[in-house]
Structure 1
């Protein structure tokens, strides 16, 4: 028998888990769930578009390449997709956007692994509390100049936290978060490196909102993963009531947003990674039977 505080290896056997993100972003978690005997369903609820006015981003990237910033701060994998796209426009590799004099900070291991797969060294990233607050807690006080490209709906936590440490922070909207699907002409096209998204991994079965509604009504969906605060908003707006289906959050900001929306959070991943989410899911079902 497993210890009470340890997930049961077989806890996910036969479970049906909904991942609310795009197929490429869902693939690593889907592969882990498949290996644990669960069925992964994929329903993208949010998508990402380029900003209409590219002037501020292009100007900031010119400054970045010219060595004007002490730090490049990455708050999401989607931001990296923007950098990949902008580097392609300039006919260079993403690593060439960042001069050797500029240090790079990331909010967690997922962003760090993508950056490193692109050949961009990461100088600062929290391991425990992988969030804006976690990164701010590691930031050394001083007058460094930081470039922070982020989503239009990003919280002010990171920028304000860095400024409180004495940094001069240039915030630029890098992309818009929209309901899925994005407009084809504005949809982000930057693809993550193969080292991060392996084509051979189990991809999960793509479903529609109607499919999910039927599964929820029949009680045949065991859990839904909210992969971001905006994803939690879309779950609240499109999938309620969840019935017996448990909601698992990728991290504390997502859990906080879900709670604000009145959703019950069954578990929160200790690390916002596929392995962390899988462990959180196991903790939910560890003490329950695997038959309905």
Structure 2
């Protein structure tokens, strides 16, 4: 399931795109945000299914070897431990995964060159050689764990920080390049839950619950509808700076943060500030987290005094500002 952190990032990016492009259709922008979230979930499904595609390449290599006019002993009696991997079989046979991939139109069609290159990298890797050369454990649980470890080793070794893989994904979808690490982690986690008694793969839903779906839709819509008012709050506390010279991404991050502070009474102030300050570290300028933190600090105090921030529920009225209590700078 997609985390609130990722949903916040998607919202910030969509807001940035909306204002930078001069878009004037709220409905169209909401559809684009929804498509971005959907594509992230699609990538998660594809990450799980990827090892099955690689295994199919291995099966094809075995079939080609056995079909030779003069096959070698190795061709006739290949090491089948990888292609007979029980965890890969569970993934390939999973009706839950297959149904989800069909529903979201996810798949690796047309990417055979990429899959073959991943296979070549895998068979050259030390972890794969150790797996293929070692005898399968006699204990079925240990054997299944070894099969599962091979799959997670493949994902953790060959997917993250892989330039040619990232280039291929970027060509497939512009939404994916920043989502690889997160979706990879979700896929490894999902596969990690498999054991020899699992009836099927426990594929996570796109949203944890309906609240998360409503959250991201409301955050985006309210930010757009109220952006002039909320930009005014930011301007009020950046009077020593030219508002137009503040990094535009900083403005968007603060707009989203203020929207969450005002519009979501059950989300603690500290959670909102922690989340958006963290986002500013990765998606804006090097000094943005300090600047954003300092401005939001002042905005929170003022909005609380004005009664515009009203948190409900035990422990939700704490306005303590986290981290980096430095003077903001432009």
TM-score by length of 2: 0.26
TM-score by length of 1: 0.28
Greater fraction strand:
1
Greater fraction helix:
2
Greater relative CO (CA pairs within 8 A, separation 6+): 1
